A = this chain, B = another copy of it.
Amino acid sequence: MAEIAPIVDAARSPYAARRPLPFSAVLLEGGFWSGRRLVNGLAALPHGHAELVATGVLRNFARSIAGERSGYEGKRYADSDLYKWIEAVSYELGRAGKRGGEIESALDGAVDLIEGAQESSGYLYTYYQVLREERDRWRHLDTDHELYCAGHLFQAALAHFRCTGERRLAGVARKLADELCRSVGPGKIEGLPGHPGIEMALVEMYRAFGDPSYLALARYFVDARGKGLCGGASYNQDHVPVRRAREIAGHAVMQLYLLCGAADVYLETGDSELLGALERLWDDLVLHKMSISGGVGARHELESFGEPYELPNDRIYNETCAQIAAVMWSWRMLLATGKARYADHLEWTLYNGVLSGVSLDGTAYFYPNPLRSRGSPRRSPWFDCACCPPNVMRTLASMHSYVATTSDGAVQLHLYDRARISAALPTGERLDVRLDTDYPWRGAVRIFVERVESAREIELSLRIPGWCRRAGIRVNGRDLPGPIGSGSYRSIRRAWKAGDQVLLDMEVAPVLYVAHPLVEPARSCGALARGPILYCIEQTDQVEGASVLASTLAPGEPIGEESDDSLLEGLVTLSVLGGGSPAPASESEPLYRQRGASDEPADGGVPFFTAARARGGGGGGRIPLRATPYFAWANRSPGPMAVWLPLEDR
């Protein structure tokens, strides 16, 4: 099969510190992510198509073709749901090749509709084609979603073109992009997309087709922000120019898609002020505005970021799309800088904050991803605003993109999974390796060098994750000398030859995380994790009488580990001793009481602001708690769930 370009094709971007491998150069098989991808391909993609049909998204294109002026179904950005699904299906076909199955017919049918709906001018946006007048086009960029949908079309078209070799959708995309560049920009219609996303897509179109007007428009969309073209509010990312921003703010997905676009602009232009802003904003994100799950965007209200440390557990928003956008951004930052922190964040967010957004069977979704639940949330097969499901689909179908990169004379491994990697270096060398591992459940990764084409030494860099306290590396059975620091890359420079073996052995042990003291809902609490996997406790796993919401954690006690095949192949559960449940705080106890007081209220009823009966058995017997990966929650019996548990320190 021909080489397929990477999804962020920075292979020739002048300011990329790391080069993405071709899409076709990494194969995940038999490991954690290939399992998730299998479910995604077999269950999620057909499910997604059925939902797109049922909710009328495809019919909107048919209406455009027929010239109908009413009957549009769904949200005004529904086109983008189809585009993301096409992107996902294309990635899937890029891995497996076309085989004439149902999903391919569905894809072809969708491409037919899109092609048919495009007008001769290149215009394409079914919501406007059906419901609005021609004079409205490009005139409401700040409130409508023409540009947002165009961006997703571009991404879908590039995925389709790159993965299937077919040019139809790419042709649609180019015609639309050209029409857009004719219509919008400095000296033409000046405006900004209310919902960013098109910026990175335009840069990707530039990478694919070389037209500098695409890059120029992307740059304009990045640089024109903060000048009131889009209402001036942080919600729409118009409160401050990107390069002057000091705080992650506004609608989470909008903010993060915009920063993806800004990072793409940097990769092509080397605008160092822009990179400085991006690094500063990224720090703000992970230092002040991220749940321990990697979830980002705290507020239900306006789907926005909150203030620093505003990270509730129960009411956190953490939209699945926001975590995906954060991964996309960190990937670009990694390409731009090569710094391990971006890969750390990307890995952690993928395993926890993104994966929590989809059921283990691939067909039910969370839009918000809370860290604590009284038991009511259930995953939904689809949403009225269906951005998240196809976003998960395209992410899982392209997971292998994030595994490795190259630079001059060097290969970097970022994620560990069972994989085959064929790395052609920018300097001409080639290094093919095979990875064997039970990661993330076990910390040993065996790297088999299968083929080398090089006249000189190649540097192989292994990421030592930030969560990893201890790691060792053996090359052909011998310990690699020198320090191995966590949160960094350990490089092995060597004249590799086929048959060489590297063993990276990371200590994967249960640990307790604590939060910054300004994170109020996590105060005095601990969260269990093991390797890159965050854990939670669900009611369904607990012994009779143990209440998840009233449980505490005894931090001095050892934490047990056990493999469990019933949830997911090879998944490791944790067992810890907790307390609190023999006499949990009752719901009839007062909300507030005076410290030290113990009298009954006189009127015998609600003990309002006075002291309640003394709590019986507080800090009493210990009970076992069973913890399972956070990403796997809400897949079995509904019931309370908690990530943060109060520590019995006192």
Contact = CB atoms under 8 A, between A and B. Distances in A.
Given A513-B592, A517-B646, A646-B517, A487 B607 contact: yes
Interface residues of A, number: 82
Given A516-B590, A592-B292, A610 B650 contact: no
Contacts of A524: 523-524, 646
B299 A609 contact: no
Interface of A: 282-283, 286-288, 290, 292, 299-301, 306-315, 339-341, 344-345, 348, 372, 374, 376, 464, 466-467, 469, 485-488, 511-521, 523-527, 549-550, 555, 580, 585, 587-595, 597, 599, 601-603, 605-610, 644, 646, 649-650
Contacts of A517: 550, 580, 585, 646
Given A466-B608, A609-B348, A340 B513 contact: no
Given A315-B299, A466-B608, A525-B523, A603 B514 contact: no
A503 B550 CA distance: 45
B487 A610 contact: yes
B592 A466 contact: no
A554 to B, nearest CB: 13
Contact of A511 (B516, B590, B594): B594
Nearest to A311: B591
A467 B376 CA distance: 35
Contacts of A594: 467, 469, 511-513
Contact of A650 (B340, B345, B487, B650): B650
A467 B610 contact: yes
Nearest to A585: B517
14 contacts: A283-B605, A292-B592, A300-B301, A307-B314, A310-B315, A311-B591, A312-B312, A340-B603, A341-B601, A469-B594, A487-B610, A488-B601, A513-B594, A526-B595
Given A314-B310, A486-B601, A514 B650 contact: no
Nearest to A526: B595
Copy number in this complex?
Answer: 2
A511 B512 CA distance: 34
Given A514-B592, A515-B592, 12 more contacts: A286-B608, A301-B301, A307-B374, A310-B314, A339-B603, A340-B603, A341-B603, A341-B606, A485-B602, A518-B549, A518-B550, A649-B650
Nearest to A595: B512
A650 B348 CA distance: 32
Contacts of A287: 587-591, 606
A514 B301 contact: no
A606 B315 contact: no
A314 B316 CA distance: 13
Nearest to A466: B610
A514 B595 contact: yes
A251 to B, nearest CB: 15
Contacts of A313: 520
B340 A308 contact: no
A587 B310 contact: no
Contact of A521 (B520, B597, B599): B520
Given A306-B315, A517-B585, A486 B610 contact: yes
Residue of A376, A516, A517, A608 most packed against chain B (CB within 10 A):
A608
A518 B308 CA distance: 23
A254 B457 CA distance: 73
A597 B549 CA distance: 27
A587 B288 CA distance: 8
Nearest to A467: B609
Nearest to A547: B518
A595 B644 CA distance: 13
Contact of A595 (B464, B555, B605, B607): B555
Contacts of A606: 282-283, 286-287, 341
A76 B307 CA distance: 32
Contacts of A310: 314-315
A488 B606 CA distance: 12
A549 B524 CA distance: 16
Given A513-B594, A524-B524, A585-B518, A602 B486 contact: yes
Given A515-B591, A523-B525, A523-B646, A344 B487 contact: no
Given A310-B314, A608-B345, A286 B603 contact: no
Nearest to A483: B602
